[in-house]
Amino acid sequence: MQTVPEKNRSANNWQRIVIKVGTSTIVDAAGDIKYPVINRLAQTLSQLQKSGYEIILVTSGAIGVALQQMKMVKRPTDIPSQQALAAIGQSYLMAIYNQSFAFYQQHVGQVLLTYDVFNNKQMLKHTIDAIEAMLAQHVIPIINENDVIAVDELEHQHSFGDNDRLAAIVTHETNADSLIVLSDIDALYTANPFIDATAEPIAVVTQVTPELMASASGSSDLGTGGMATKLYAADYLMAKQRQMVLINGKNPATILDIVAGKAIGTLFKGV
């Protein structure tokens, strides 16, 4: 595996960090909610916040959590059923986060967004103002897509499609220093390692090439985006001179290592 010299990771002067947590970090393959992982995430983010970092959490998992609550094994295909699950799961997801963060005396606030917010100057300003106000009060904003109303209509795009894209846009619009994406995989591999046993992890990506895009196929059972949407997010950020790090979410304390400048996962950073 290619190694990155520590000095190439400019993590030490980060101030504002967006963390994106995928469904696979919140819910396991059997559909059970990973309470200890969520607790560790809350502990880690609270610790960072108390050390002076500004933290924004973008979380998936509403539908995954709701499937467990409603004792359903498969995600329904029709939109209203998915909207209903998102409504059920989002409130429970926030209840879990509230309880987990409260243990570390960390306040959080819920922000639910649709794509059109970012296409409307005034709505965008209101959203950013609210996020800035929370950060100024040492509150961690917890963002998800508003899946109840984010249903695309003809000529009107409400939906981000996936939370990797949402997280990348939030990173840019809030002028954050980096996006850290937590998934069920240690890094970007040369091919999907669940399919190709010869796949090798990639430590640094300086450009998202068509070959890299072609290497991304499939997602975890409940994840919607898969690796392709993470590559689109990285490409979007690199075009804006920002960076992204992909790590395994099984131990969220790894975020502390990333912030300390350790070379873990895949770093996406333009040259």
Ligand X SMILES: Nc1ncnc2c1ncn2[C@@H]1O[C@H](COP(=O)(O)OP(=O)(O)O)[C@@H](O)[C@H]1O
Ligand Y SMILES: N[C@@H](CCC(=O)OP(=O)(O)O)C(=O)O
Q: Write out the binding residues for ATP.
A: 20, 183-184, 224-230
Residues numbered 52-81 forming contacts with ligand Y, rule: CB under 6 A: 60-64
147 binds, among ligand Y, ligand X, none (CB under 5 to 8 A by kind): ligand Y
Task: CB nearer to ligand Y: give 22 or 252.
Answer: 22
Annotated binding site: 20, 60, 147, 163, 183-184, 224-230
Residue 147 binds to ligand Y (criterion: CB under 6 A): yes
- Joined together, the tokens standing for residue 173 give 């619009």
Pick the stretch among 143-151, 170-178, 188-196, 263-271 that binds ligand Y (CB under 6 A). 143-151
Give the up-direction half-sphere exposure of residue 167: CA atoms within 13 A in the CB hemisphere.
Answer: 34
61 binds, among ligand X, ligand Y, none (CB under 5 to 8 A by kind): ligand Y
Please report, as ranges, the residues that interact with ligand X according to CB under 6 A.
Answer: 22-25, 183-185, 188-189, 191-194, 215-220, 223, 225-227
254 binds, among ligand Y, ligand X, none (CB under 5 to 8 A by kind): none
Q: How far is the CB of 1 from ligand X (least distance, A)?
A: 13
Look-up: residue for tokens 């850290």?
180
Q: How far is the CB of 202 from ligand Y (least distance, A)?
A: 20
Beta bridge partners, 243, equal 178
Q: How far is the CB of 225 from ligand Y (least distance, A)?
A: 4
Task: CB nearer to ligand Y: give 140 or 182.
Answer: 182
Interface contacts to ligand Y, rule CB under 6 A: 22-23, 60-64, 144-145, 147, 162-163, 223-225
